[in-house]
Amino acid sequence: MIAITGANGNLGKATIGFLLKKIKPEQIVAIVRDPKKMDDLKDSGIQIRIADYDDLDSLNEALNGVEKLLQISAISIGEQGVKEEANVVKAARQQGVQHIVYTGAVKPKADAHFMATQQCLATESAILDSGIPHTFFGNSLYMETIPIFIGEALDHGTIYYPAGNGAVSFVSRVDIAEALSNVISSQGHENKRYEITGSKAYTFKEVALILTTERKITVSYVNIPNVVLAEELDKFQIPDDQIGWQLSLADSIKANEFSYVDGTLEDLLKRKPVELKDYLRNL
Ligand SMILES: NC(=O)c1ccc[n+]([C@@H]2O[C@H](COP(=O)([O-])OP(=O)(O)OC[C@H]3O[C@@H](n4cnc5c(N)ncnc54)[C@H](OP(=O)(O)O)[C@@H]3O)[C@@H](O)[C@H]2O)c1
């Protein structure tokens, strides 16, 4: 049996969609907190089990009989996020899971600016310590996050974001899901690390240029100071720790922590990954 955590999220559900074309539904275990969020798949034949990353017992129950686990990184940040992801690894070890495929960050460095990268590294280290054979997906930023960065630029023509000249090898989340489904439904991926990126890294100025060409409206990029972003987020009553997390992401982009480009995704998909211009044209 193959289990997927975060199964009702964007990446988890898309991966299940691809998996259903490759293996029998009864071999798929979707692990979620709220089964109502799986209503669209309730008649698909997959097993839906309930667990919370914060509850080790529930994870142990959900992973009973599971051979392969796709562990999708958590949403919680800081120590809580590290603890939740460690719980998943602990339960996997206790239940004798034989292979963990974990989705983390591209080329993670111990001194990375981005707080989530630090969390992913902690989980990778817990998986290595567990002795369970692993496959690490080092994901670059999803193309699907671009609307968050560009805000209302398609209306007023300006992207305001503190990314400097940092470039990002944006990658389609749907492509990642398909690649994950290929990996977890086949053999030969144990103890490998795959850096999962788009085929080119783009600065925010280049993103603005592509939008201008593809959307026929003039878009420009303005690099704002971090404090301006922090003030904007504060206006929406975003908690301080979330603001710190957002600023760490901006700093990481500025420092080119997401600019690495790798051809592995094309190998895993056996086709060209989605191009940024095609994504932006249809945004
Ligand atoms: N590379 C990138 O650009 C990027 C961008 C965003 C996120 N990420 C990371 O990639 C992961 C997958 O992305 P996504 O787009 O699929 O995110 P998503 O749609 O927000 O899905 C996150 C999933 O995690 C589940 N979850 C959260 N806390 C949980 C808990 N305590 N116990 C059990 N399940 C829990 C959520 O369940 P509920 O519906 O019950 O909350 C949901 O199914 C994210 O979780 C995040 O770590 C990466």
| Domain boundary assignment for the chain | 2-142+171-197+261-273
Reduced to 3 states (helix: H, G, I; strand: E, B; else coil), residue 82 is: helix
Q: How many CB atoms lie within 10 A of CB 42?
A: 11
Distance 76 CA to ligand 1 centre (A): 9
Interatomic CA distance for residues 250 and 116, integer angstroms: 12
Cα angle at 27 between 18 and 83, to 5 degrees?
85
> Does the CA dihedral 85-89-95-99 come out positive or negative?
positive
Closest CA to 23 of 68, 63, 57, 56: 68
Ligand 1 atom nearest to 103, measured from its CA: 10
Instruction: State which of 75, 82, 103, 195 you would mutate to test the pocket of ligand 1, scoring each by most atoms of that ligand within 8 A of its C-beta.
Output: 75
Contacting residues for 119 by C-beta, under 8 A, at least 6 apart: 73, 74, 77, 78, 81, 82, 85
pLDDT in tens, the chain (283 residues): 999 999 999 999 999 999 999 999 999 999 999 999 999 999 999 999 999 999 999 999 999 999 999 999 999 988 999 999 999 999 999 999 999 999 999 999 999 999 999 999 999 999 999 999 999 999 999 999 999 999 888 889 999 999 999 999 999 999 999 999 999 999 999 999 999 999 999 999 999 999 999 998 999 999 999 999 999 999 999 999 999 999 999 999 999 999 999 999 999 999 999 999 999 999 8
Backbone angles phi, psi at 71, to 5 degrees: -95, 110
Q: Which two tokens mark 151?
A: 């805000």
CATH of the domain spanning 2-142+171-197+261-273, picked from 3.40.50.720, 3.10.450.50, 3.10.520.10, 3.40.640.10: 3.40.50.720
